[in-house]
Structure 1
């Protein structure tokens, strides 16, 4: 930095002594030798600023996108666990629910259809989704121990199954 200041001062003094006879100093004459260097420096600064802004934007968008995947997965898991609760109804307390049970398998298919991008983003296998569903089921039922949703009426259940089948067919 000191060398840059010394070089600048030397150039100013040289240009001043060259024009001493004229006694006027043109700012254009003083700055013109430095214009290419100033343009280069300005280009480097602007490039660095654009690079920093691009990185900050990518980081922010990456976090935002990952959060939306996480939210979609959590919603699908909650809905899938709710489907298990409704399907089992009052039998929930007496039935051992594990990843291999048909109710969990049905809920896994639901989650895979409801949030396929999120499942792929996090690299989850159907076994992983099943484990998360069983855990979510524990969280949902632990809030009110002993309380279980009643099984829906057969006509309501049939309508819900038809709607789920239609939704799965469109994906």
Structure 2
């Protein structure tokens, strides 16, 4: 009787081990996808924030308008925009605080930096 039960267990044991390995690998893969998905989202968010900051700086330094800044962001991070589902209106909304952080009202037309206004460390015009 003991040998019969042991023989039955030995027949089922490889299948149980295969099932257990599959479950462990499935759970590990699930956690891996969650972890890398969070990292990928963070990288896209960082890239979007950087593009928004750069667009705000370009908007304030150059003789550009909001359309130029939106175009810059669209060209810089199309994957992030697609991932987060942002359109031009959303980009303008996210640009406004970046422009305000630069010390300008985002609704006003930007004032370009004039060459004669730029000075070096000694105060002499560059």
Q: TM-score range with shorter-chain normalisation? A: 0.7 to 0.9
Aligned counterparts of 1:46 and 1:84: Cα–Cα separation in 2: 56
- What do you get for the CA RMSD once the two structures are aligned? 2.5
Q: Does 1:33 align with 2:8?
A: yes
In the TM superposition, 1:14-53 aligns within 5 A as 15=3, 31-53=6-28
Higher helix share: 1
Q: Is the 8 A contact 1:76 1:111 kept in 2?
A: yes
Q: 2:47 is matched with which residue: 55, 72, 85?
A: 72
Q: Does 1:125 align with 2:87?
A: yes
Query: Could you say which residue in structure 2 is the equivalent of 1:58?
Result: 33
SS of 1:141's equivalent in the other structure is coil
Query: Could you say which residue in structure 2 is the equivalent of 1:93?
Result: none
Aligned counterparts of 1:150 and 1:105: Cα–Cα separation in 2: 16
The two structures have a TM-score, normalised by structure 2, of 0.75
Moved over 4 A (4+): none
| 1:33 CA displacement | 3.0
List alignment gaps of at least 5 residues for structure 1: 1-10, 16-28, 89-101, 143-148, 155-171
Count of residue correspondences: 110
